[in-house]
Homo-oligomer: A and B are copies of this chain.
Amino acid sequence: MKPYREMSREELLSLKADLDKQFEDAKGKGLKLDMSRGKPTPAQLDMAMGLMDTLNSDSEMNTENGMDTRNYGLMDGIPEAKRLMADMMGGVPAENVIVYGNASLSIMYDTVSRSVTHGVLGSTPWCKLDQVKFLCPAPGYDRHFAITKLFGIEMITIPMTPEGPDMDLVEKYVFEDPAVKGIWCVPKYSNPQGISYSDETVRRFAALKPAAEDFRIYWDNAYVVHHLYDDKQDEILEILSECEKAGNPDMVYEFASTSKVSFSGAGISAFAASKANVEEAKRFMTIQTIGHDKVNQLRHVRYFRNLDGIKAHMRKHADIIRPKFEAVLAVLDKELGGLGIGEWTRPRGGYFISFDAMEGCAKAIVAKCKEAGVVLTGAGATFPYGIDPKDSNIRIAPTYPTADEMAEASDLFVLCVKLVSVEKLLEA
């Protein structure tokens, strides 16, 4: 089939008639599928059920340094869990890590909230400033943007490139504007594009010369061990040591969790940063909490043992979700290849495929899919304020449904892409 843009009006009209009919047929099928949720499928969770056996009523409940995980104390996490999370985060020193509860999102929220009320290492609290801005590489993670929006922080969209955020723009903003206090990054297998930052990008991040002393990189390493393939794996530079080498040790906060390793509802999470940043976080923790669930930390360490254990576990995850990604990609390639009405990513890891429709088509495609029973992430969700300036990006989450369901949902998706694209071209 030839590219849609090269078709005559008659060809488009005839195509539309055909697609309309196909769509009516599809609607008749009464599909009920969901490609919106970046969540593990039960088979992945089943694989971690051994976690439930690692501790029982006869278990030794002390940490390696003899502290009772069941009691108060060790507010910043048990040493062996610090080490496990440190290794998972690409080999940061364990003393630079604090282990938290089950949600790394809470750490991020809390870090922003603390900066708003109390500043950063002695800087003016953001609530006392007229203007605070965050850079938001987009498409990105909607929950990051929701946090900054909640605190009234102005969000500036930074386009993504295949190497990561547009660093020329990042450097310009960070260097010139003292109101720019942070940037949201998912550096590895980014949400939703699956892009991993190149070494040059990471080094340029580490070498930033911020106008604001309290500028921080929010490095959400959510998919750090979430490869889809054994033989094709992305690795990124370790940001803490890069920042230190570049003379900016305090410029980065790193976040990670086992939400998509063990259980999304009952994992452990971690924060890594320079000594000064970690000490500041701990100073607040002494007032904020009596510490996080140390028994669950122990459970995770006893189960995974070390980074190799996590890697082996994640290979089993990959075996489950890779076919789902491939099912989607096969349909996209076969049905949309060469038509010039969409582009999509082929991630080597993470939880999403990112699809860029023709400009002005994303909302309509999502609505069409919904009409026929397939739920997609809301168009625009991947941009600050929920507004995609090109109305083009759609996030596809293949992990939760089965591969067959994903293929079926993808069939409908490509049909909707074609139909909306034809309509758009006919309007022009």
Contacting residues, chain B, for A295 (C-beta < 8 A): 263, 265-266
Do the beta carbons of A102 and B288 come within 8 Å of each other?
A: no
A interface majority secondary structure: loop
Do the beta carbons of A265 and B291 come within 8 Å of each other?
A: yes
Q: Report copies per complex.
A: 2
Does any Cβ of B come within 8 Å of A19's Cβ? no
Contacting residues, chain B, for A290 (C-beta < 8 A): 102-103, 105, 259, 264
- Give the CA-CA distance A58 to B56 in the complex, in Å: 14
Does any Cβ of B come within 8 Å of A398's Cβ? no
Contacting residues, chain B, for A125 (C-beta < 8 A): 127
Q: How large is the interface on A (under 10, 10 to 19, 20 to 34, 35 or more residues)?
A: 35 or more
- Give the CA-CA distance A42 to B295 in the complex, in Å: 14
Contacting residues, chain B, for A58 (C-beta < 8 A): 49
Do the beta carbons of B57 and A71 come within 8 Å of each other?
A: no
Contacting residues, chain B, for A296 (C-beta < 8 A): 266, 293, 296
- Taking CB as reference atom, which chain B residue is nearest A113? B113
Return A81 CB to nearest CB of chain B, in Å: 12
| Interface CB pairs A-B, < 8 A, 29 | A39-B72, A40-B71, A45-B61, A45-B68, A45-B71, A52-B56, A53-B56, A71-B263, A73-B265, A74-B265, A101-B101, A101-B102, A102-B290, A103-B291, A105-B288, A105-B289, A105-B290, A117-B117, A146-B287, A147-B287, A150-B287, A259-B290, A265-B291, A265-B293, A265-B294, A266-B293, A266-B294, A266-B296, A296-B296
